[in-house]
Amino acid sequence: MWTAPLCVLLCAYLGAAEAQIAYTGHLSELRIKELSQLAMRMEHSINAQKYACDSYYDHVCSRNRPLFSVMGHMPPSNDLIQLLTKLQNDPEQFEAKQKLIDFFISCNTLKSLQDCYRETFEFFKPLFGYIITKDLIEGSSHELRDFRDIIQRFVDRSKSVFGIDSHPLRNRLQTYKEKFATPSIYFYAGDLNREYAGLRIYRESYEHNLRNLEMHRKRNSTFELGVQRTMLDWSLYLYQSRYKPMSYFYPTFTVHLYMTMFNISERQRDSTHFREEAECLKLPQYVNVLSEARMLAVIYLKSFRHTWQEYSDWIQSSTKHRAIYDQENEILRHYQLSNKRIFFTLFAQNFCEFGKELAEHVFYLGLKENADFFNTYSCGYQTEITRNCV
């Protein structure tokens, strides 16, 4: 079972129990604190010396410090420590949990604690899903409620956007959204024991454990595909996204739903009509000669446009949403930021890895047609509008 040294190591990071959460206006102190932390992280991520209107890629990517990858990021070390501690202190003891801790111990014989936290998370994500959905995500939490509302808004809006009553992805999202009301049912201890039943872990043999885990993930894991994979991804994403503003969720989640849908629908369209749209965009020659690049330009332009419209609609859909938006902007103003800047930055940073030319001429076309983008950064000019093209 748990060793005394490990218990001491993990328990040292536990803080006192949270007091009752206080509110200022519509925001809890936890959300206010997270908003300030996000703003400070963004200050270090963007390059303020690069003028956003000259090259948005240089502004948000040149420091090589994007804040989030697609659909989230690995939790910081403090969060991993807290999650592992909660898993240890959870009263339910089961075999899969013991295998996780045996791997952690074997790892720490050769590697640093930081490396072992990261590797344990990567190889045993379903157990982190277990403790997240059991202790940290409750059906009444506003994060879970808001996240499911975002999915429902996309499902409802996509009916008019894509012009079809039934689509496999939309139907699947609707089903998954209902299942995600109680995500913990996908991480029962008995199911996790079966998931790792054939896995052998030895405290004294880290390298053997690595090989066994790699083989398990390739051959046996039920969390690599299907509903289990989605429930795990969403649970991890929601934990990593807790207390964040809506200007975070739309460019890091909703936009990927649109990308997936448009990636299907655009490839099924009449080729002549599509070619006319692409020519109207006046893409650079090196982009225009590549059919796949033209396709991606249209897909990402439409994805950005509809995601931005959904976020704008959310702000205007109720007086409470507008009040939340305004209160967040008051906090962000002290950092020379706003919700719109957060949205634009996080969207753009999805594509830093593709390089400046592709980012500016393929992935950022939606930004370059957006009046709010130019007003937000006080550009004073706007490139040729592409709305009449696509």
The string of pLDDT tens digits covering residues 316-364 is 999 999 999 999 999 999 999 999 999 999 999 999 999 999 999 999 9
Domain annotation covers residue 166: yes
pLDDT score for 211: 96
Residues 6+ apart with CB under 8 A from 32: 24, 331
Spatial distance between the Cα atoms of 46 and 13, rounded to a whole number of angstroms: 31
The amino acid at residue 84 is: L
pLDDT score for 9: 46
Q: How far is CA 125 from the centre of its chain?
A: 16
- CA dihedral (215, 216, 222, 223) positive or negative: negative
Domain annotation covers residue 148: yes
CA 16 vs CA 11, 19, 59, 257, 382: distances in Å? 11, 9, 40, 39, 52
pLDDT score for 388: 73
Domain annotation covers residue 147: yes
DSSP secondary-structure letter at 333? G
pLDDT score for 17: 39
Spatial distance between the Cα atoms of 149 and 168, rounded to a whole number of angstroms: 20
Phi, psi of 28 (to 5 degrees): -75, 160
Domain annotation covers residue 312: no
Spatial distance between the Cα atoms of 389 and 30, rounded to a whole number of angstroms: 44
Domain annotation covers residue 159: yes
CA 4 vs CA 8, 15, 83, 89, 95: distances in Å? 6, 19, 18, 13, 18
Domain annotation covers residue 160: yes
Q: Which helix (H) or strand (E) holds 179?
A: helix 168-179
Residue 117 in contact with residue 84, Cβ under 8 Å? yes
pLDDT score for 86: 93
Number of domains in the chain: 1
pLDDT score for 260: 93
Domain annotation covers residue 163: yes
Domain annotation covers residue 146: yes
Residue 249 in contact with residue 358, Cβ under 8 Å? no
Which domain covers residue 160, as residue numbers?
140-180
Spatial distance between the Cα atoms of 293 and 280, rounded to a whole number of angstroms: 15
- Which of the residues in the chain have pLDDT under 70? 1-20, 69-73, 135-140, 165, 381-387
